[in-house]
Structure formats: structure tokens, C-alpha cells
Amino acid sequence: MSDKPTIVLVHGFWGGAAHWSKVIVELSRKGYTALRAVELPLTSLADDTQRTHKRVAQQSGPVLLVGHSYGGAVISEAGDMPNVVGLVSISPPSRPTPARAPAASARPLRRRRLPILRPTAMAIYGLRATSFTRASARI
């Protein structure tokens, strides 16, 4: 069994799960085998969060949520599940406020660097390295 988390990829508003295909290939080459992409209904933030919650609940181990653009807002809402170990937002529309930070009162946050998504991998997605935000994990 791998010690790496399942990576759940959440697309932006003008995208779809298929837009992660090249990223999935690149991460697979780097040894990440548990990769999932969520297809959001894009009907409301609540519906998109519910769909992401369902995908995370289907995973039997730790989950790292990755959201691009609007997907960053979705993972901020969906990141409160007990098996979510980290959030990575790529060009999010806004940062979560402390009141909306996932499980802020449920358990203490510990930050560590996660060398999971590098600009070279995401450049395949069509993003520039400057569009990345810092990633932090809660363990």
C-alpha cells in the first residue's frame, strides 16, 4: 500500500474533469497512482461542494484536494472531512477566510511542504508557474 494520499482534482468554472488528463499522466509518472478528478455540475457552490464531498467519501485513506480557479473555492468548502490531509489551490478566486478555513476548530493545523505539484507538472495544464499559490497541508 502506498503512503501517498489519494489526489482528488477539482476543475475550475470554465473547465471539466478531462482538463486534468495531462496532469494525471504526469503525476502517474511521478509515482502517484491514486488520482481522481471530480466532474462538477456547476449549478451552485453547494452542489459542487456536495459532489466533491461524495468523491472524497469514496476514498479509503488520506486525500489531498487540489482545486484550480473556482475549484479552489470548492475545496475550501469541501476540505472539512476527516480524511482530507491537505488543500492545494491553483489560481483560486480568493483565499478562504479564517472562519471558513477547513476544520479550523476541529483540530490544530500543522504546515509542511508538499512536493506533489510542481510548476512543470502544472505547465502541462496550461498554467504559468507564477499562477501558483502556496500549498499547505493539515495533518
Rounded Cα distance, 89 and 94, in Å: 10
Q: Is 112 domain-assigned?
A: yes
State residue 15's pLDDT score.
86
Domain enclosing residue 71, as ranges: 6-137
State residue 136's pLDDT score.
35
Residue 37 burial by Cβ neighbours in a 10 Å radius (0-12, 13-18, 19+): buried
State residue 132's pLDDT score.
37
| Predicted model pTM | 0.68
Q: Is 80 domain-assigned?
A: yes
Q: Is 1 domain-assigned?
A: no
Q: Is 133 domain-assigned?
A: yes
- Summarised one tens digit per residue, pLDDT across range 67-121 is 999 999 999 888 889 999 999 988 866 555 444 444 444 444 444 444 444 444 4
Rounded Cα distance, 110 and 2, in Å: 22
As for how many domains the chain has, the answer is 1
Q: Is 126 domain-assigned?
A: yes
Rounded Cα distance, 108 and 54, in Å: 24
Angle between helices 45-57 and 70-78 (to 10 degrees): 60
- Summarised one tens digit per residue, pLDDT across range 90-103 is 886 655 544 444 44
Q: Is 42 domain-assigned?
A: yes
- Summarised one tens digit per residue, pLDDT across range 39-77 is 999 999 999 999 999 999 999 999 999 999 999 999 988
| Strand pairing report for 84-90 and 136-137 | antiparallel
Q: Is 96 domain-assigned?
A: yes
Residues 6+ apart with CB under 8 A from 79: 65, 87, 102, 103
What CATH number is attached to the domain comprising 55? 3.40.50.1820
